[in-house]
Structure 1
Amino acid sequence: MIDTMSRLPVFSFLWPGMLWLLAFVLMLAAGYVWLDARRRRPTAHYPTLKSVGLATKGGASWRRHVSPALTLLGLTALIFAIARPQAVLMLPSRIETVILVIDLSGSMRAQDVKPSRIRAAQQAAKVLLDTQPAGVSVGVVAMAGTAGVAQAPSRRKDDVATAIDRLQPQGGTALGNGLLIALTTLLPQAGSDAERLMNDDTTPTKRPEAFDSSDTVTPGSYVSGAIVLFSDGESNAGPGVLQAAQLAAAHGVRIYTVGVGTTEGVVLSVDGWSARVRLDEKVLKQVADATAAEYFRLEDAAKLKKVYRALNARLAFDKREQVEITAFFAALGALLATCAGLLSLWWFGRVL
């Protein structure tokens, strides 16, 4: 679906019929010009009056026209206010919900990032949590062989931090499931599509038919929330990661990805088996790109602040919104009328 905000007029009125009142302003302006011309006639008929200053007494100079002009402009602004003007403006969006998805797979035990991948991810998640405004709800999704909501979206940061601290590494990696659970937590209306994808037998590279409908929106257009994924990118269970990302993109939700680990990897020994586990940046970049978001890399816990600054800055999206600006014109009209009265009182000792 094409973004409807792009079709809105840049400037419009809710009550355009009230603009006919501007004719009254034109009549007043014409009347003022006529009266001013009439005042000038004695000078034309009796030139000697000008020499003695009678015709110019009272400030018959340019100052004489300032107050009436400001009054007419103020009246014009008030009429615009009566017509209830509205404009399409770029405003800072209000992020209402952020869902943190934390990878708890066995590979996250690796210590190529100190103290370990999982601990570094937890620390990064808590840094991001601490710096969210008070009005933002933060939820936590734990993802390993299966995925589940460890903490429902909440504004109580202590509860969310406790949920993050309780997370422990598990077996398996269902990265796609984690993203789908996060998406349905953020947007419950996406639940039917997510359930279909979880039960779909299509390959990860095939895009489900539901995503091809005209009901999909522009990727990244959902400005009230976002998903942040902390993972090393490895997945060996559940639906395809890119399918989950495509579904999120179809609902306009951005998935910011934070890669935890090193591309060189490290040999990890668990329960009698050993394997080299590496950071799969390619998958994480594809997820971010598909949802109009961005990928970040976290190699060391000491770099948490740098990652946060870059990530949090991008969570503060801008959005186009049609806003009524009646108050602006009302205030402008009152200000111009006040200035007109004060200047006239200062220069001529009277209000207009």
Structure 2
Amino acid sequence: MYINITNPHYLWLLFSVPFLIFSHLTLLRYNQYRALRFANFAALKRVTGKKILSKNYIMLTLRMLILLSLIFALSRPVLWYESEVSNYDYVIAIDSSASMSAQDFQPTRLQAAKDTASSFVDSLPPGARIGVIRFAGSTFVELIPDKSKLKVKQAIDDITLMRAGGTDIPGSIITGSNLLLNSMDGRGIILLTDGSNTAGTFLQDSIDEATNYARDKNVVIHAIGIGSESGPIGYLPEYYNISATYNQDSLETITEDTGGLFFYASDYEDITASFSNIINHDKTAFIDLEMTFGLTALALVLVFIEWGLINTRFRRFP
């Protein structure tokens, strides 16, 4: 459990608390000076039934709580707590770069990813929302998270190979995380890729930044590495003897940092088993609770309490 501050710049207003205390003590001293002009304290005590020249610490505490509640409400704190969930919302991110045309899966790695992803969609509970993205040199949204399994499977089926170079794994992570920001259930991204990140100037730095972004949004990333380490690349003749490189280390780093699972899949059965393990794994998630409304309501209640005390116990005599 932890609290994340959405608008931390409003926390500068906390410096107003010492000014509140200073003004309270200054006005208290001024009022005490005025009260000393009235000599018959014994008579006042008999009338009011309370100590004269009170320091009003109760009122000071109330006003401090009101001010603090309003400041924290403006900063929009969000309470994140871990809880069991019945549903997970997923973004399925499928690598459609040229390396996915490798033929160590028949007919290609891409087709294997699409077939097994569609079967995974069928196995999810009815309330799950699933989005679909594809990535190569850039990342493209095929479908925002939707409960319609028919739409999801159609979006998966529409993914085709892109001959342009590059595999934008960081972009797919950030895009997938953004698609899940409004999810009220668990949040998960499933990467189906050969793991060869070839987009970005500083490749490992970009992966680290994307992974940190997903972790900050409490998105769990699972990765299924498709293909052998030396599968033949599909878009060049076999006599070139060039392999579609499989990068396991990158995928393991991404999943470990976000609490997800990494799977190595060398055939259709491995991919299917990986999806089943993901479903069994995702039983708990971090759920967010906006605290702004509660803090605003607390401030309002305290204002009414202060108003009541001013007009009863702490009322001023003429």
Q: TM-score, normalised on structure 1? A: 0.53
Distance, in Å, in 2 between the alignment partners of 1:186 and 1:141 is: 12
Equivalent-residue separation in structure 1 for 2:174 and 2:285 (angstroms): 25
Kindly provide the amino acid, as one letter, of the partner of residue 172 in structure 2: G
Matching residue's letter, 2:228: T
Please give the alpha-carbon distance, in whole angstroms, between the structure 1 residues aligned to 2:103 and 2:155: 22
Residue 264 (structure 1) aligned with residue 258 (structure 2): no
CA separation in 2, counterparts of 1:188 and 1:248? Answer: 14
Question: Is structure 2 residue 190 aligned with structure 1 residue 228?
Answer: yes
Partners of 1:296 and 1:130 lie apart in 2 by 20
Match of 2:173 in 1: 179
Aligned to 1:315: 282
Equivalent AA in structure 1 for residue 219 of structure 2: V
Unaligned runs of 5+ in 2: 4-80, 290-318
Contact in 2 for aligned 1:108/1:232 (Cα 8 Å):
yes
Give the match for residue 113 of structure 2: 121
Equivalent residues of 1:121, 1:230 under 8 A apart: yes
* CA-CA distance at 1:91 after TM superposition: 5.5
Question: Does the CA contact (< 8 Å) of 2:224 and 2:271 recur in 1?
Answer: no
In structure 1, the residue matched to 2:133 is 141
Q: Per-residue CA shift, 1:186-233, capped at 9, x if unaligned?
A: 1269xxxxxxxxxxxxxxxxxxxxxxxxxxxxxxxx962111111100
1:249 partner amino acid = R
Whether the aligned pair in 2 keeps the contact of 1:268 and 1:274 (CA below 8 Å) is no
CA 267–144 in structure 1, closer or farther in 2 if over 3 Å, else same: closer
Q: Distance in 2 between matches of 1:90 and 1:249?
A: 14
Q: Does the residue aligned with 1:275 lie in a helix, a strand or coil?
A: coil
- Amino acid aligned to 1:287: I
Task: Give distance in 2, aligned partners of 1:176 and 1:169.
Answer: 19
- Opposite residue 269 of structure 2, the aligned amino acid is A
The number of equivalent residue pairs is: 205
Equivalent pair of 2:135/2:172 in contact (CA under 8 Å): yes
Q: Distance in 1 between matches of 2:96 and 2:123?
A: 23
Percent of matched pairs sharing the same residue: 23
Of 73, 91, 97, the match for 1:105: 97
Of 221, 228, 246, 2:212 maps to 246
The amino acid of 2:96's aligned partner reads L
What's the TM-score once normalised by structure 2's chain length?
A: 0.58
RMSD of aligned Cα (Å) = 2.8
Q: Is the 8 A contact 2:104 2:232 kept in 1?
A: yes
2:242 aligned to which of 275, 280, 300: 275
User: Given the superposition, is the C-alpha separation of residues 188 and 176 from structure 1 closer, same or farther in structure 2, using an over 3 Å criterion?
Assistant: farther
1:292-348 Cα deviation digits (max 9, x unpaired): 1110122111334322221111122267999xxxxxxxxxxxxxxxxxxxxxxxxxx
SS at match of 2:125: coil
1:5-42 deviations in whole A, cap 9, x for unaligned?
A: xxxxxxxxxxxxxxxxxxxxxxxxxxxxxxxxxxxxxx
Partner SS for 2:270: helix
Any residues of structure 2 matched to 1:34-53 within 5 Å, and which?
A: none
